[in-house]
Structure 1
Amino acid sequence: MKFMAAKPVILASGSPRRKELLGLLGFPFEIILSQVSENLAIGDMDRKQYVEALAKEKTMAVAQLHDSAIVIGSDTIVSLDGRIYPKPEDAEEAKRFLQELSNNTHTVTTGVGIYVNGEVVTFSVETKVTFRKLDMALIDAYVASGDPMDKAGAYGIQTAGALFVDKIEGDYHAVVGLPIAKLAAYLQGLGLISIGGPVH
């Protein structure tokens, strides 16, 4: 099954995971990194407002230079008890994150921005992930692999981080980094993609 896009599509992310998921829709797209800092001040925003604001910033940063395209940006955060767990700054922080997430249920919130014709539409998806109790030997070995360093919350559910997960409630692909089913529905609803032929 392949979709056709009404305009050129740009993914405003260097994430190989988002690239792979968007590739499931079958249309060609270009990757252009947004260069937007992920340290947006959260202020009075809730989790969904925060990730949607960040996704919008990433989307607009690329769209300003490519305004005739469909630009898709995304951001993912991990949170537990009101605290946000970004990408760890070093191995020690990664270990601390995983120790705190151990034996707890945290929330993964992924925001998506879609730019077309001068406007950005945003949405977000929340998924609950429960970790089993992790021992330090497992945490140390995982952090030593380098895998958690570019991932919110210091783990990747699609890599060895899957070994930590006891239960997931919600959209698995949103935890990976892009809620592809909901994104496809939005793109179809906006008339930006269609199955099997160009959009008229």
Structure 2
Amino acid sequence: MQLILASKSPRRQELLTLMGVDFKVVLKDVDESYPQNLSPAEVAVFIAEKKARAFDEKIEENAIVLTADTIVCVDGLILGKPEGEEHAFEMLSLLSGRKHEVITGVALLQNQKIHSFYEISEVYFKSLEAADIRKYIEDCKPFDKAGAYGIQEWPGLVAIERINGSYTNVVGLPTHRVYQELQKLK
């Protein structure tokens, strides 16, 4: 089985490597817009499937394309990737002292059929000081991360009080579930 990871995320690549999975990275540009009437979980799956469909006719038989999309959601509001420092500050301020959900939609494309699923993890942040948020944004530039933070960075070390669900889902790929689903496709 040849696995193609359609993601430029170094975190997803590292997780698959740590899992001992052989894969190659192939990238395609995909518009990540979505219909506004979808639930947050439906949005994550919709975008993951959209990314997979970009490969529909272009992969070898029995190869599997893995795509994913991770979103952060608080009170039904989807927080994507921040557009700049102030947007990142607004997002992290909104998450401060609250619970939010991290939802990763995953699509596996094999023989022109898509198998998709999602995982939800609840993340509880302690209250954050504005100066600490600004320093994190300045030091780590979290503009490529949904919700403006990476759990493997400062927020994960000092701001997250607890997680209900998969840690690796919050990183960007629910590895336990991906492994189970790949085993079914062998």
Q: Aligning the two structures, in what range does the TM-score lie when normalised by the shorter sequence? A: over 0.9
SS at match of 2:104: strand
Match of 1:31 among 21, 25, 28: 25
Instruction: Look up the match of 1:18.
Output: 12
CA contact (8 A) 1:134 1:164 kept: yes
Shift of 1:44: 2.0
CA contact (8 A) 1:87 1:154 kept: yes
SS at match of 2:102: strand
For structure 1, the residue ranges without an aligned partner over 5 or more in a row are 1-6, 193-200
SS at match of 2:78: strand
Bigger Cα Rg: 1
Q: 1:112 to 1:133 in 2, by over 3 A?
A: same
Match of 1:97 among 91, 102, 105: 91
Q: How does 1:13-162 map to 2 (within 5 A)?
A: 13-41=7-35, 43-68=36-61, 69-162=63-156
Q: 1:128 to 1:30 in 2, by over 3 A?
A: same
Please identify, of 121-130 and 155-164, the stretch whose mean Cα deviation from structure 2 is larger. Answer: 155-164
- Structure ranking higher on relative contact order (CA contacts 8 Å, 6+ apart): 1
CA contact (8 A) 1:77 1:108 kept: yes
Q: In structure 2, what is the Cα distance between the partners aligned to 1:101 and 1:30?
A: 35
Q: In structure 2, what is the Cα distance between the partners aligned to 1:34 and 1:52?
A: 17
In the TM superposition, what whole-angstrom CA distance separates every residue of 1:144-190 from its partner, at most 9, and x where no partner exists? 01431110000000122212211111001001000011111011122
For structure 2, the residue ranges without an aligned partner over 5 or more in a row are none
CA contact (8 A) 1:33 1:62 kept: no
* Identity percentage of aligned residues: 39
Shift of 1:38: 2.2
TM-score, normalised on structure 2?
Answer: 0.94
Shift of 1:29: 1.0
